[in-house]
Amino acid sequence: MTKIIPNLGKKLRIGRQLTWGSFILLLVVLLLNCLATQMPISLMIFTFIPLLILVPGLYAERYKTISMLCFVTLLYFVVTVSNLFKADSSMFDVAEVVLLVILFNAAMMFSRWKQYSLYQDDMT
């Protein structure tokens, strides 16, 4: 028996907005951080590929892709927190950590609510 979630449509809308907003802001902050540290293009591409691979699934709102975004976000979180302890850490690193925490939580809840919405649609 599937649990009925009250206000699921509203939660999905908020989860979608938070996930996309923090995802886009994270890409912008990553780009600004790469430019500020004068990172080579090859490393810049390596930085963005894992996130950009997930864009089609995010656009289609596949809950499995959104769940994979949570795992990828954890990897970025580990790297960013280790960068914070370097002597030359910047405000971009702090912004990345904040955005990664927001993105992880928003994507986790959005994925869960999306999965519930699919089950509720099957029941009706």
pLDDT-derived band at 119 (thresholds 50, 70, 90) equals confident
For the segment 8-25, the average pLDDT, to the nearest whole number, is 97
The answer to whether residue 1 scores a pLDDT higher than 60 is: no
pLDDT exceeds 80 at position 122? no
Number of domains in the chain: 1
> Phi and psi dihedrals of 88, rounded to 5?
-100, 30
Structure tokens at 99: 């955005």
Non-local (6+) Cβ contacts of 57 within 8 A are: 64, 65, 66, 68
The pLDDT, as a whole number, for residue 123 is 67
pLDDT(3) > 80:
no
Q: Is residue 1 part of a domain?
A: no
Assigned token pair, 111: 């994925």
On whether residue 62 sits in a domain, the answer given is yes
**78-93 pLDDT per residue, tens:** 999 999 999 989 999 9
Q: Is residue 34 part of a domain?
A: yes
Residue 41 included in any domain: yes
Mean pLDDT of the chain: 93
User: Which of helix, strand or coil describes residue 54?
Assistant: coil
Q: What are the tens digits of pLDDT across the range 35-52?
A: 999 999 999 999 999 999
Taking the C-alpha atoms of residue 116 and residue 8, their distance in angstroms, rounded to an integer, is 8
**What domain range includes position 58?**
8-123
2: in domain: no
The model's pLDDT over 57-113, given as tens digits with 9 standing for 90+, comes to: 999 999 999 999 999 999 999 999 999 999 989 999 999 999 999 999 999 999 999
Does a structural domain hold residue 33?
A: yes
